[in-house]
Structure 1
Amino acid sequence: MTTTTLPASRFAAVRQVADAVLFEGYVLYPYRASAAKNRLRWQFGVLVPPAWGSAHGEHCFQRTELVMEPRGDATVHVEARFLHAQRRTVEEAREDGTFAAVAELHLPDRVLVPWDEGTEERVEMSVRVAELEAGEVCLPFARPAREETEPVLDAAGRSVGRVVRRTERIDGVVRLRAEELTLPYRALKLTAVVENTSAWDPKAEAAGRADREEAIPRALVAAHLLLCLDAGSFLSMTDPPEWAKGVVAACANQHTWPVLAGENGRADVVLSSPIILEDHPAIAPESAGAMYDATEIDEILALRTAALTDQEKREARGTDPRAAAVIDLADSMPPEVLERLHGAVRALREITGPASPTAPPPGELPHDDTVFRQDTPWWDPARDDTADPSRDRILVDGTPVGPGSRVLLRPGLRRSDAQDLFLQGCSARVEAVLHDVDGGVHLAVTVEGDPGADIRREQGRFLYFQPDEVTPLEDA
C-alpha cells in the first residue's frame, strides 16, 4: 500500500453529494427529538457488529464491485466515510455541586434533551493497481471509546448543568482487490469491501440490552465509499459500453450501489452509496442549505419549519446543532431565495433538425422521421398552436385519435402498475390528449362500461396510457 494521498480537488466536486448521503435522514422535520419519526434513527448504510447482525438480521459489510480501465502505473484512491454515533445525556446541576441526569434542561434559547449525535469519520487509503492485482490489500481501522463533558452556563456564566457525550469503540476494515477480465480491451474488476469487525458484548444480550439502540454506537452509520483512479476511468454500472455489458452485469454489489460522480463527461471518480443514485448526481443549485430530511422537498420544509411555534423551535435548537442550523436557515431565508425553491425545469429536450415550412397540425405528431424546429416551445401560450387537451389529436397506427375516440387498451410490459394489466383488452374512450415538458404524449381515458365513468369525468380523474399502448377502434 502506498502513502500517496489524493489531492483534495479530485473529490471536491463529489463532496456535497457525499455529505447529503452521509446525513440522509439524520434528523427529520419537525427536527425535535420528541417527534416520533426521530425516535428510530439511522436508516441508511448501517453496518452493525457482526455478532449482533447475525442474531438480528442486519448486515455488517458493504461490497462494491465495478469495472475500471486503468492506464500505466495507476493508483486507486479510496475514502470510506461514515458517522460514529455518540450518546449525549443531559445533566442538571444541583445545589450540592453534583449533577443528575434529566429528560430536559430548559435554557432561554433552547431545550437540551438526550440525543445520539453523529460525528463524521474517514478512512483513507491509496493503493497501486499493480498491488491489487497481486492480491487483496487490507486496511484495518479503529476508533477508540471516549467520554467528553461540556458545561452548560446561564447568561450570568453560572453552571446550570452539563452535557456528557459517550462514544463506544469501533473496529473495521477496508479490503481492496482487482482481477483482470477477459475483454477486447484491458479492464479489471475492482472489489472494495467495508466491514464492521467490532466486538459485541454478550453480557448485553444476557442483560436484555440487545436492542438496536445498544448496537448503534458500535455501528458504521451511513457508510459509503469514494473511489478515484488517478490514471484511467471507471465504467458506468447503469450504462456500460456494449463490449462490457456482460461483465458489468456480473458484478455483485451488496448493500451499496456505485455511480459515476463529479462533473458530467468524467469517469475517474465513483460514489458507492447505500442510496441508489444515478450517474453524476448533483444537489439542486436552488437549495439554500441542507435540510437533513430523507427525500426532502426544500420549499415545503422551509415553509413548515418557519411555521413552527417558538417552543418547538427551542426544542429543535436543543436537539442537534444541525437542527438548529435548519431553524435559523428557515427563519432568515429571504423571499427571493424561497421563490427559487418553487420549481425548476432542468431537462427540456431540445428539438433540432432541418426547419420545415409545413409543421403538423396542432397536437398532431409526425409519423415519419421528420423533426420540426420551432422558435417558440409548444407549451408557451404565445404560440398560435399551443397544445389543447380538449382538441388535440395524434396519429396512432395511422388513425387520428383524440377526445371522443374509442381505443382498445394494451398496457405495455414497462408499466409498473399491476392494476393496468387487468385492463388488457378493454375498450375505452379518450377524454384528452396530454403533452409533458419532455415531449411525451399521454392519453387520458375512461373505461367503457365503468359505472363510475361519469363521476371520473366530472372530477377529472382518468387513467393514462401512452399511444403505443392503445389500438384505435371505430370512432363514436
Structure 2
Amino acid sequence: MKLEQVKEIANAVLYEGYLLYPYRQSALKNRTRWTFGAVYPREYSEANGGMEPWTMHTECLVEGQAGDISLDVTVRFLHLLVRTVVQPELAKDDRLEANASEWSLASRLAGEPLQEGVEREVSVMGLSLRNLLAHPWRVTIEFPASRTVEYPANAAATEIIREQQALSGAFILAAEQVDTDLFKLSIEIENTTLETGSVTSRRDIVLLQSFVSTHTILQVRQGSFISLLEPPEEVQTFVRECQNIRTWPVLVGNEGERNTMLSSPIILYDYPQIAPESPGPLFDGSEIDEILSLRILTLTDEEKVQMRQDERTREILERTEALTPEQFMKLHGTIRELRPITEGEIE
C-alpha cells in the first residue's frame, strides 16, 4: 500500500477527538482536548512525577533476509498553535454588550484565543536492516517557534495572529535478531523540548509543547511484518516479548499484505479501513456519522460562524451542507456480507 493511502487511515487517528460536536471551541467539552497519543516534554513529565509520559515505544517483528530488507519509518503528530483574533475596539465593546445578557459560559468564551493543529511528520527512508542491526539510528525532531499575522479583508477583525512554540525531540530506531530470518524492530519517540519544567498545572499550555496524536508508519521492502494480533504459532513466543507502550502496531493495507504497519495510540484490528460510505472525517469515532451529520445541519448561523473559524471544522461544515439525499441514505446503514444460516444456528 502506498504511503498516501496509509495516511488516509492514519489521519483518522491523527484527528480523533480534535474537536467534538458542535465543533466550536467555545463549547464546554471542547475546552479540553480529547486527542490520544500525547508525548509530553521530558522536563514537564519529570517535574510531575512521570504522570504524563515523555516517550512512546513500539516493538514489532519483521521476517526476511537481513541483507535484503530496507525500512521506511515516518513519525507523525499534531503541533498545536494559538490563534488570536484582534478586533477593533468598537467591535469588542459591541460583543461585550451583547454577551452581558448571556448566561451561557460558552458565549463568554467565544472570543478567547483558539487552538489549531498543524500536521508534522519526520521520516527516514531506505534504512538498511543490516545497518540497523549494527547500531541504532537516531532521527532528530525539530520544529522552531513561529508567529504569523494575517490581515483579513473583512471588518470583523483587524489581525489574526498565530503563534506556535518550538518543539524538539527524536525517535530512535533499533533492531535485533531473535530467530533465523526473524528480527525485532523498536521505535522510541522522545520529546525533549526545553524550558517546560515550570509548567506544572496547565495541561492546555503544555500541550502546545507536546507531540499530539502521535503515531508511526512503518513500511518494509524485501521483507514482511508479523501480525501481533494473529501471529503464526511458531513466533508467538517472540510476539509476547514485544513491548508496546502507549501505542499498538497493526497491519494496514489490503487483507493479506504484510509490508506496512501503523503503530497507533488507539488500539485497532489488523487492516483497518475507512468505510466507503463515509463522506469524510468527523473526528469522533464513537458517534454515528448519520446522526452527527444531521445534528450539524441543525446548528444556528452563529454556531456555524464559530465552526468556520478552524479550517478543518469548516471543511466538515461545508461537506455536510453539500451532502445529497443519496449520500445521506448511504449513511443510514449497509450490509457488508450475507450468508445462509444453518439449521443448527437457528436452534
TM-score normalised over the length of structure 1? 0.66
Higher helix share: 2
Query: Would you say the 8 A contact 2:61–2:239 is kept in 1?
Result: yes
Pair 1:324–1:26, CA change in 2 (3 A): same
In the TM superposition, what is the alpha-carbon distance from 1:200 to its structure 2 partner? 3.0
Cα deviations across residues 301-336 of structure 1 (Å, max 9, x unaligned)? Answer: 101111112221122112x11111111122111111
Query: Would you say the 8 A contact 2:88–2:157 is kept in 1?
Result: yes
Calculate percent identity across the aligned residue pairs. 37
Q: In the TM superposition, what are the counterparts of 1:297-446 in structure 2 within 5 Å?
A: 297-318=288-309, 320-349=310-339, 364-365=343-344, 394=347
Pair 1:39–1:131, CA change in 2 (3 A): same
Using CA pairs below 8 Å that are at least 6 residues apart, which structure has the higher relative contact order? 2
Query: Any stretches of 5+ residues in structure 2 without a counterpart?
Result: 99-109
Q: Residues of 2 paired with 1:101 and 1:15: CA distance?
A: 45
Query: Would you say the 8 A contact 1:42–1:222 is kept in 2?
Result: no
Q: Residues of 2 paired with 1:231 and 1:102: CA distance?
A: 65
Q: Residues of 2 paired with 1:92 and 1:36: CA distance?
A: 23
Matched, 1:254 2:245: yes
In the TM superposition, what is the alpha-carbon distance from 1:289 to its structure 2 partner? 1.3
Q: Residues of 2 paired with 1:17 and 1:177: CA distance?
A: 26
- 1:28 aligned to 20, 23, 30, which one? 20
Pair 1:159–1:324, CA change in 2 (3 A): closer
Q: Which residue of 2 aligns with 1:116?
A: 115
- 2:195 aligned to 194, 200, 204, which one? 200
SS at match of 1:323: helix
Q: Which amino acid aligns with 1:37?
A: K
Query: Would you say the 8 A contact 1:90–1:102 is kept in 2?
Result: no
Q: In the TM superposition, what are the counterparts of 1:20-419 in structure 2 within 5 Å?
A: 20-56=12-48, 57-71=51-65, 72-94=67-89, 114-126=113-125, 127-154=127-154, 160-182=157-179, 185-204=180-199, 210-318=201-309, 320-349=310-339, 364-365=343-344, 394=347
Cα deviations across residues 50-70 of structure 1 (Å, max 9, x unaligned)? Answer: 121233311111111111013
Q: Residues of 2 paired with 1:194 and 1:346: CA distance?
A: 38
In the TM superposition, what is the alpha-carbon distance from 1:18 to its structure 2 partner? 0.5
Q: Residues of 1 paired with 2:142 and 2:60: CA distance?
A: 27
SS at match of 2:2: helix
Cα deviations across residues 206-244 of structure 1 (Å, max 9, x unaligned)? Answer: xxxx41112011000000000000111000000000100
SS at match of 1:266: coil
SS at match of 2:18: coil
In the TM superposition, what is the alpha-carbon distance from 1:295 to its structure 2 partner? 2.1
Cα deviations across residues 374-398 of structure 1 (Å, max 9, x unaligned)? Answer: xxxxxxxxxxxxxxxxxx7x2xxxx
Q: Residues of 2 paired with 1:102 and 1:262: CA distance?
A: 54
In the TM superposition, what is the alpha-carbon distance from 1:249 to its structure 2 partner? 1.1
Pair 1:59–1:305, CA change in 2 (3 A): same
Cα deviations across residues 422-455 of structure 1 (Å, max 9, x unaligned)? Answer: xxxxxxxxxxxxxxxxxxxxxxxxxxxxxxxxxx
Q: Residues of 2 paired with 1:228 and 1:350: CA distance?
A: 39
Q: Which amino acid aligns with 1:323?
A: T
Pair 1:94–1:125, CA change in 2 (3 A): same
Q: CA RMSD in A?
A: 2.4
Q: Residues of 2 paired with 1:350 and 1:221: CA distance?
A: 46
Pair 1:349–1:76, CA change in 2 (3 A): farther
Cα deviations across residues 249-291 of structure 1 (Å, max 9, x unaligned)? Answer: 1100000000001111100000000000000101000001111
Query: Would you say the 8 A contact 2:44–2:196 is kept in 1?
Result: no
Q: Which residue of 1 aligns with 2:102?
A: none
Pair 1:103–1:187, CA change in 2 (3 A): farther
Q: Which residue of 1 aligns with 2:107?
A: none
Q: Residues of 1 paired with 2:64 and 2:192: CA distance?
A: 31
Query: Would you say the 8 A contact 2:199–2:206 is kept in 1?
Result: no
Pair 1:31–1:77, CA change in 2 (3 A): same
Q: Residues of 2 paired with 1:284 and 1:322: CA distance?
A: 20
SS at match of 2:317: helix
SS at match of 1:365: helix
Q: Which amino acid aligns with 2:193?
A: S
- 2:6 aligned to 14, 36, 39, which one? 14
Q: Residues of 1 paired with 2:166 and 2:325: CA distance?
A: 46
Q: Residues of 1 paired with 2:213 and 2:61: CA distance?
A: 24
Q: Residues of 1 paired with 2:93 and 2:214: CA distance?
A: 32
Query: Would you say the 8 A contact 1:53–1:60 is kept in 2?
Result: yes
Q: Residues of 2 paired with 1:141 and 1:191: CA distance?
A: 17
Q: Residues of 2 paired with 1:50 and 1:295: CA distance?
A: 31
Q: Residues of 1 paired with 2:35 and 2:220: CA distance?
A: 30
SS at match of 1:152: coil
Query: Would you say the 8 A contact 1:227–1:270 is kept in 2?
Result: yes
Q: Residues of 2 paired with 1:89 and 1:188: CA distance?
A: 49
